[in-house]
Amino acid sequence: MIDEQTDKRANSFWRELPILLGVAVLVAVLVRAFVLQTFYIPSPSMEHTLDINDKVLVNKLVYDFRSPDRGEIIVFRAPSEWRSNPKGEDFIKRVIGVGGDRVQCCDAQQRLMINGHPIDEPYIYAEDGVHDAAADQPFDITVPKGRLWMMGDHRSASGDSLEHWERTNDIQVATVPEDAVVGRAFVVFWPFGRAKWLSVPDSFASVPKPQD
């Protein structure tokens, strides 16, 4: 005697399997498009916070609800003047200044100042215990509203806002529009030996709001 109920359930599973796989693929595509995405690090510009071939997880949803904050590491679509590839590139840098901020180099201890407040940057690249300079020359800029002043942690190897400011003296070219931001990198997940959260350094917490 055939157990019709059991046979029916087995056949039902195989009929439903393509649907389940399709749903799984669709969910994965939607998550990648709108929520989370992985990126690998192709350059030394964020050493040693991020090393070449590190893989990071990026939250693509967070900035739908707020603007980027100082100290966060973000992925963004590079302005055309920054690109080596005309088809476009995604860059990853640290937010140093947001719209309205005055960013200067440097105080007596050679620290960047944001709205008159010096910031300690322990993440800046170091070789044999010697850190890169916070900037390779003095500057004093105000970030336009809706734009971001971005710098790499490996200052001497980063094509960032400071480099483009020094080249052009054009604050629009040197800054990144907020609508070019892809998302916030919040964790290194590969290689396992370098896994870590990408938190905002404490020194940014005491930066005052920009003066109107």
Q: Does residue 147 sit in the same domain as residue 180?
A: yes
Q: What is the pLDDT of residues 20-66, one digit of tens each?
A: 565 555 555 544 544 688 999 999 999 999 999 999 999 999 999 99
Backbone angles phi, psi at 187, to 5 degrees: -155, 140
Domain that holds residue 87: 37-204
> What pLDDT is recorded for position 70?
98
Does residue 205 sit in helix, strand or coil? Answer: coil
Q: Is 93 a catalytic residue?
A: yes
What CATH number is attached to the domain comprising 150? 2.10.109.10
β-strand partners of 90: 77
Marked catalytic residue, from 8, 43, 45, 67: 45
Do the domain assignments include residue 212?
A: no
CA distance 143 to 139: 12
DSSP per residue over 119-181, as a string? ---TTS-EETTEEPPS-SS-EEEEPPTTEEEEE-SSGGG--SHHHHHHHH--HHHHSEEGGGE
Q: What is the pLDDT of residues 85-119, one digit of tens each?
A: 766 689 999 999 999 999 999 999 999 999 999 99
Q: Does residue 7 sit in the same domain as residue 60?
A: no
Closest CA to 90 of 79, 98, 101: 79
User: How many Cβ atoms from other residues are within 10 Å of residue 40's Cβ?
Assistant: 12
pTM attached to this predicted model: 0.84
CA distance 170 to 148: 14
Do the domain assignments include residue 174?
A: yes
Do the domain assignments include residue 210?
A: no
Q: Is 209 a catalytic residue?
A: no
- Contact of 96 with 103, CB cutoff 8 Å: yes
Q: Does residue 93 sit in the same domain as residue 1?
A: no
Marked catalytic residue, from 60, 93, 158, 161: 93
